[in-house]
Amino acid sequence: MSDCSNGCGSCSSDCKDRTAPQSFLAEANELSSVKKVIGVVSGKGGVGKSLVTSLLAVTMQRRKYCTAILDADITGPSIPKAFGLNEKAAGTEAGILTVDTKTGIRTISVNSLLEDDTDPVVWRGPIVAETVKQFWSDVIWGDVDFMFIDMPPGTGDVPLTVFQSLPVEGIVIVTSPQELVSMIVGKAVKMAQLMNIPILGIVENMSYFTCPDCGKKYPIFGESHIEEVAEEYNIKNVARLPINPDLAASVDKGMIEDFEGSWLDGLADIIEGSLSSKIAVPYDEGQVFQHFGHTEQFEIVEILNGKIVNKDIITSDCGGHGALAGFLADNGISTLICGGIGSGAITALSQAGIKVVSGVTGDADEQIALYLAGKLRTSDQATCDHDHTDGHNCSDHDHSNCKGSCH
Ligand SMILES: Nc1ncnc2c1ncn2[C@@H]1O[C@H](COP(=O)(O)OP(=O)(O)OP(=O)(O)O)[C@@H](O)[C@H]1O
């Protein structure tokens, strides 16, 4: 370039003379260590992006991950309201402290800083983007497993700058049936591709309404085309959220953490798998061994970014579910995929911070692959759906919860 001053650090041009890779990433606060940053995006405002962000954070916190929400929707902040947060963020010399929800989700939002949260934010784009960078750099997040970013709506300049400033490693797209879904998703996909960020899934919000009297589902805003659109863009995970008055009431009362709903569990499984984790499967000659309390061997797989990076078979020399739960925890296991398991064992495992996916049969490797693809559902109930031809009596669990054939 004729007018080049060789100041690549301050120049935004990506020319052939550039001496170092261009990065707009803001530096994290030195007291923060965030393992996985996930952006939640939408084509326009009001489709439920903040609601989905909140529900995903609540789900991951319930799964015992240390979870945070950075509310990057500066001009329309909704996170403090959904969680009933009125407290203002305090600061120390080291940085701004997060405002924590009643279950411990760490948050920061412009409303946590404004004196009066009805004050409008009338700022120009660069200032909005700069504020988001400060939420990353100046806030002391501490150790966080998953941070969800409630992104500014759309795919314009501000969301783009925010994406470039924060180390976003996955995107969740939120749409509604009345939007021009294909175009909106197409734009988000292209933006994600530009930045080389994987799309973890699409959520179609307000997808249908279930009649409380007859249970029939009505597509209030028109028939859904989300599956076709997901296929068109090769997005594997689709979740559909109904219009639910209880959900709206929970947000209005600031009680989103008390709301129970499993619509986003499949997506949460994918998000969970994107973190480095270890899965154990009771193992017997390639198959899922069906009696957890008598397991002698476990197949252990190590997952990074949803892919298996290591596999091993380990032998347990302990019997009974209490000792086995300790054994798995000592081996750093975060998820157990198993067949029959009793309620006592599930309690011991959950106390050890291990998630249980039970009632699984067949080839161990195939079942692990299904789990990583988000196709195995978590069953928190005790199951015992194995036959008893080997003469054992399932004495390691309470049969009142068995849904299988062991009575
Ligand atoms: N599935 C649903 N059922 C009932 N109410 C919903 C549902 N989804 C969203 N809402 C309600 O719609 C309103 C808008 O949702 P939300 O704030 O999450 O949208 P948004 O996309 O984040 O909007 P913006 O970007 O403008 O802040 C909220 O009051 C929320 O409680």
Whether residue 160 is found in the same domain as residue 193: yes
Q: Are 312 and 364 in contact (CB under 8 A)?
A: no
311 and 328 housed in the same domain: yes
For residues 289 and 248, give the distance between their C-alpha atoms in angstroms, rounded to a whole number. Answer: 43
pLDDT in tens, 285-319: 999 999 999 999 999 999 876 678 899 999 987 76
Whether the per-residue pLDDT at 124 is higher than 90: the answer is no
Q: Is residue 19 in some structural domain?
A: no
What domain range includes position 335? 277-401
Task: Answer yes or no: is pLDDT of 379 > 60.
Answer: no
Domain closes at, from 226, 257, 273: 273
Q: What is the pLDDT of residues 221-261, one digit of tens each?
A: 888 888 888 888 878 788 999 999 999 999 999 999 999 98
Are residues 249 and 391 both part of a single domain? no
Residues constituting the chain: 407
CA of 351 to the centre of ligand 1 (A): 34
Where is 347: in which H helix or E strand? helix 343-351
In a domain, 60, yes or no: yes
Q: Any idea what the CATH number is for the domain that residue 314 is in? A: 3.30.420.130
Ligand 1 contact, 54 CB (< 6 A): no
Q: Is 6 exposed, middle or buried (0-12, 13-18, 19+ CB in 10 A)?
A: exposed
CATH code assigned at 198: 3.40.50.300
State yes or no: 404 annotated in a binding site: no
The residue to mutate among 50, 148, 174, 218, having the most atoms of ligand 1 within 8 angstroms of its beta carbon, is 50
In a domain, 333, yes or no: yes
Could you tell me how far CA 79 lies from the centroid of its own chain? 16
Same structural domain for residues 104 and 179?
A: yes
Q: What is the pLDDT of residues 125-161, one digit of tens each?
A: 778 888 889 999 999 999 999 999 999 888 777 788 7
Q: Is 105 domain-assigned?
A: yes
CA distance readout (Å), 158 to 74, 126, 128, 162, 286: 10, 7, 7, 6, 51
Residue 147, beta-bridge partner list:
37, 68
pLDDT digits (tens, 9 = 90+) for 336-358: 999 998 888 888 887 776 878 88
Q: Which residues contact 122 (CB under 8 A, 6 or more apart)?
A: none
Task: Output the pTM of the full model.
Answer: 0.69
Q: Report percent pLDDT > 90 for the chain.
A: 40
**233 three-class SS:** coil
Q: Does ligand 1 lie within 6 Å of residue 82's CB atom?
A: no
On whether both 156 and 169 belong to a single domain, the answer is: yes
Please check whether residues 89 and 228 belong to one and the same domain. yes
- Do 175 and 251 belong to one domain? yes
- For ligand 1, is residue 45 a contact (CB within 6 Å)? yes
Judging by DSSP bridges, how do beta strands 238-240 and 277-284 pair with one another?
unpaired
Whole-number Å distance between alpha carbons of 71 and 109 = 5
Is 338 in the same domain as 265?
A: no
Query: What pLDDT, in 10s, does the model give residues 41-86?
Result: 988 778 899 999 999 999 999 998 999 999 999 877 889 999 999 9
**Is the residue at 3 inside a domain?**
no
Q: Whose CA is nearest to atom 1 of ligand 1?
A: 243
Q: How far is the CA of 159 from the centre of ligand 1 (A)?
A: 19
> Domain check: are 172 and 97 in the same one?
yes
Please tell me the predicted confidence (pLDDT) of residue 332: 86
Confidence band (pLDDT; 50, 70, 90) for 4? low
Task: Tell me the CA distances in angstroms from 373 to 77, 102, 145, 390, 405, one per residue in order.
Answer: 33, 32, 21, 33, 29
Please identify, among 256, 273, 290, the residue that sits at the C-terminal boundary of a domain.
Answer: 273
Q: Is 205 in the same domain as 328?
A: no
Tell me, in angstroms, the distance from the centre of ligand 1 to residue 273's CA. Answer: 27
With 0-12 CB in 10 A as exposed, 13-18 as middle and 19+ as buried, what is 207?
buried
48 is in an annotated binding site: yes
Same domain? For 100 and 191 the reply is yes
User: What pLDDT band is residue 404 in, cutting at 50, 70 and 90?
Assistant: very low
If one counts the domains in the chain, the total is 2
Q: What is the ipTM of this complex?
A: 0.95
Strands (E) across 62-219 are located at: 67-71, 91-92, 95-97, 99-100, 106-108, 139-140, 142-150, 170-175, 199-204, 209-210, 217-218
Residue 228 burial (CB < 10 Å; 0-12/13-18/19+)? exposed
Asked whether residue 8 is assigned to any structural domain, the reply reads no
Place of tokens 């004196």: 115
Q: What is the pLDDT of residue 306?
A: 66
What pLDDT score does 135 carry?
Answer: 94
Higher-pLDDT residue of 400 and 290 is 290
155 CA distance to ligand 1 centroid (A)?
19
Structure tokens at 133: 């960078």
Q: Which of 207, 240, 251, 256 to probe ligand 1 with, by most ligand atoms within 8 A of CB? A: 251
Same domain for 196 and 62: yes
40 C-beta closer than 6 A to ligand 1? no
Residue (of 97, 158, 96) closest to 127 by Cα position? 158
255 CB less than 6 Å from ligand 1? no
